Amino acid sequence: MIGWTLGRYFFIRYVQITFYFLLGIFALSLLLDFTENASKLANLPDYTVWAALGLSAMRVPFIMQQMIPFVALFSAMATLISLNRKYELVVARSVGVSAWQFLLPACFGAFLFGLATIFILNPFAAYGFAKADEIASTWKTGKVTDVSALRDPWLRQKTDEGETIIGAKGILDQGATLADATFIQFDEKKNIKVRYDARTAQLMDGHWELTDVTRFARGEEPQKMASLQIETQLRPEYVEEKLATPDTIPFTQLRHKIEVARSFGYSANAFDMQYQSLLALPALLMAMTLIAATVSLKFVRFGQSGAMILGGVIAGFMLYVVSVLVKAFGNAGFVPPFVAAWVPVIIATFLGVSFLLHKEDG
């Protein structure tokens, strides 16, 4: 069994290299997002350089969360390659330390890295992403255009007043508030009866609260109103399940959101998929570490082969792509979210272990 001193040394090396990667990604993400904000928002009246920098800083945790699997892959590769180049793994092997033993600190570090992502980074990412969207929407003052193409911003409701189609250009407060909302009411013959354009529409108990409203009706002049209430039977849980981005909900709240949505008969597949994906993240990072080990453990006197390193990067990238692809099936309900989140991780882990068994133990 690997000694405490040697294991702690390998673990600290892994943590240090991971920290350097995270620091680099933070700086790069902040720079790129700030540049994008400057090009999109610079003409808005409330825009300032420091405000845009703060907006980018709030988005950075979300961007970093998406990059975590690659950070784990590259950190493990860099750690093992650096130990190889300094002959430290060679010396460890010479005193009877097996590959499995000196991989244990890296795998343990990846597991802790995954837990830190779930319980520390994810809440900041969810809050910051939602808050940044809210601030950007207020800056645009009626010119919100950032609705994701992956979400359907249209809802349909039926009340005593007839059928109403609800659309929006922006979604805030996890779906409870719509920015640049449009309400189109139909008569019994399915003809458009009246249309309301509102700067914001907030879902209250039994009604929508519209502010800064313009009313359009056939044969009438547009009418301005400060506020308007429109009856609704839509539940907040339904609107949230339909419109809210799971990424804006912290991990600690997802389980409750899923239970509440299902208690009203809604599928909550997107929320469940996000929950299972985060739950599987520590195992995914450990699988990435094993993939890195398959191309980094072999000692080469003059450095690792570029083709071998590229192979490890491609293998990790393929695992990530497969995970994202299966996640899309889980969101759509074609595959149970639990299966969609865990099967790629389990398969990758078995492949990594099998390859290392063949390579190290014959």
Looking at the fold, whether 112 and 161 belong to one and the same domain comes out as: no
Establish if 135 belongs to a structural domain.
yes
Match 């990594």 to its residue by tokens.
Answer: 352
Q: How many domains does the chain have?
A: 2
Q: What is the pLDDT of residue 142?
A: 45
- The whole-angstrom separation of Cα 179 and Cα 352 is 47
Buried (b) or exposed (e) across 250-264, using 16+ Cβ within 10 A?
Answer: bbeebeebbebbeee
**Domain, as residue range, for 313:** 4-142+265-361
Looking at the fold, whether 130 and 17 belong to one and the same domain comes out as: yes
Q: What percentage of the chain's residues is helix, strand, coil (to nearest 5)?
A: 65, 15, 20
Looking at the fold, whether 78 and 190 belong to one and the same domain comes out as: no
Looking at the fold, whether 55 and 118 belong to one and the same domain comes out as: yes
Establish if 237 belongs to a structural domain.
yes
pTM of structure: 0.81
Closest CA to 340 of 314, 316, 322: 322
Looking at the fold, whether 271 and 232 belong to one and the same domain comes out as: no
Half-sphere exposure for 247 (CA within 13 Å, toward CB): 17
Looking at the fold, whether 234 and 275 belong to one and the same domain comes out as: no
End residue of a domain, out of 208, 241, 274: 241
CATH number at residue 195: 2.60.450.10
What tens digit of pLDDT does each residue of 57-78 get?
999 999 999 999 999 999 999 9
Looking at the fold, whether 70 and 105 belong to one and the same domain comes out as: yes
The residue count of the chain comes to 362
Establish if 251 belongs to a structural domain.
no
Q: What is the pLDDT of residue 144?
A: 43
- The whole-angstrom separation of Cα 45 and Cα 143 is 12
Looking at the fold, whether 64 and 163 belong to one and the same domain comes out as: no
Looking at the fold, whether 129 and 200 belong to one and the same domain comes out as: no
Looking at the fold, whether 218 and 348 belong to one and the same domain comes out as: no
CB 76 within 8 A of CB 296: yes
What tens digit of pLDDT does each residue of 117-163 get?
999 999 999 999 888 877 877 776 544 444 443 344 678 888 877 88
- The whole-angstrom separation of Cα 334 and Cα 316 is 25
Q: What is the pLDDT of residue 141?
A: 52
Q: Which residues of the chain have pLDDT under 50?
A: 142-152
Closest CA to 239 of 160, 155, 323, 356: 155
Establish if 252 belongs to a structural domain.
no
Closest CA to 124 of 237, 252, 270: 252
Closest CA to 191 of 234, 162, 171: 162
Establish if 250 belongs to a structural domain.
no
What phi and psi, each to the nearest 5 degrees, are found at residue 135? -65, -45
Closest CA to 325 of 282, 146, 317, 113: 317
Establish if 150 belongs to a structural domain.
no
